[in-house]
Structure 1
Amino acid sequence: MVPTTALRFGTPPGRLIALPGVYRPQADTRLLAEALSHERMDAGTAVLDIGTGTGALALSAARTGARVEAVDVSWPAVIAAGLNAFRQGLPLRVMHGDFATRTQGRRFDVVLTNPPYVPSVSPRPPSHGAARAWDAGPDGRRVIDRVCACAPALLRPGGVLLMVHSGMCGPPATVARLEAGGLAAEVTARASVPWGPVLRARRTWLRRQGLAGDGDEREELVIIRAAHP
């Protein structure tokens, strides 16, 4: 049975620098951090954090002694993650740019990602601002599908992908895409959280798209774990 957890957005995220426009750790961050805590990691583990934001997840991995790299398309996020690593005295390599381009030809033992996954009216991603951290096209899968396509090449044999996203985005589709790439994928955890301000502002549009019901006030988050054989 997949565990279900009730989480609140008000849980303190810890003392992390979050520059303007950088996504602050929230319920999805904490759910992914919990999933990460169940993975074996040591000094020989190579970890990649895609869309690092403040670096919260990358730093959680670094505390295990793992060799961690993080990447983000946002310069403020890259700066924030670097500052947080420095303040905590943890080794972390932070890269700016597209994750697939910056890691081409390289493989990792653990790949983490909390990608943009909020359905948005525009099919084009924002070029700047905080919305880059959550807007992901009309079905919310613009980045999710890219991660699914790249995951088999990013993972070493025995490596693991851990991804969190909304139930609105179709977890079965994510599992199917990962399995089509030769990975063993499954939903390993779920959490129910109240709608945040972004979803509340899009309530009417989400209902028209069939992504939310009339009485919906909570969002399901899922953790998807995919293992390279």
Structure 2
Amino acid sequence: MRAVLFVGHGSRSKRSNEQFIQFANAVGASCKAPLFRYAFLELADPSILDEIKVCVEKGATEIIVFPLLLFTAGHAKVDIPNEIDKGKVLFPDVTFTMEKPLGIQEVLISILEKRLSEKNYINQQNSLVILVGRGSNDESAINDFEKVGELLRERLHTSHVRTSYLVGGHTSFEDSIRQAHESSYENIYVLPYLLFKGVLLTQMEVFVRKLNDERFSMCQSIGADETVVNLVSTIINHEI
């Protein structure tokens, strides 16, 4: 029997974990696999290995692991495969397959546009968008995020989109916000390229709020948007 194991990063934020579970349940409702389970890589339960055990107990002979990650970096290249390897040791007769993270998707660019429109974004010379990624030490993930920035500039028909990073990367989130605060832009939109509202997004909101600058608008994260649910469901069902 084939099973799909849907893996989220996990967060210290209960709300973020609940959003992932809501997302997972929505994807699972349309999944064609006989068995659909979800797990967290870290910071929350159930763990990947625990859910591998559950899948096998329920009769799975093949487990497809789908990581709900935006880019292919350390978690997708090392951490999740390490957990899968533990499962292979315990269950040598079970076949394991790991799918790729979401990567660059036009649907995700459309959601970024949607999040801006929710804050009444208007494309003007005096408007600035600060696109914020989590950041990584993996250069390929950084390059992919910069590509997202390029695609967003093309969609918005503006050069006034800056990329910044919460950790790692080239330009820190704090530096980008300070530079914008000192600039002459009349409208500044902080646009997080994050799946769910976790601790990092809360810290971003606090940092911006402390500036007491009315020009700043804080956009929502990507979230459990229906179009993303449909995208993930389509990818999974294509593989099973």
Q: TM-score range by the shorter chain?
A: 0.3 to 0.5
Q: Tell me the TM-score normalized by structure 2.
A: 0.34
Larger Rg: 2
Q: TM-score of the superposition, structure 1-length normalised?
A: 0.36
Q: Which has the higher helix share?
A: 2
* Bigger strand share: 1
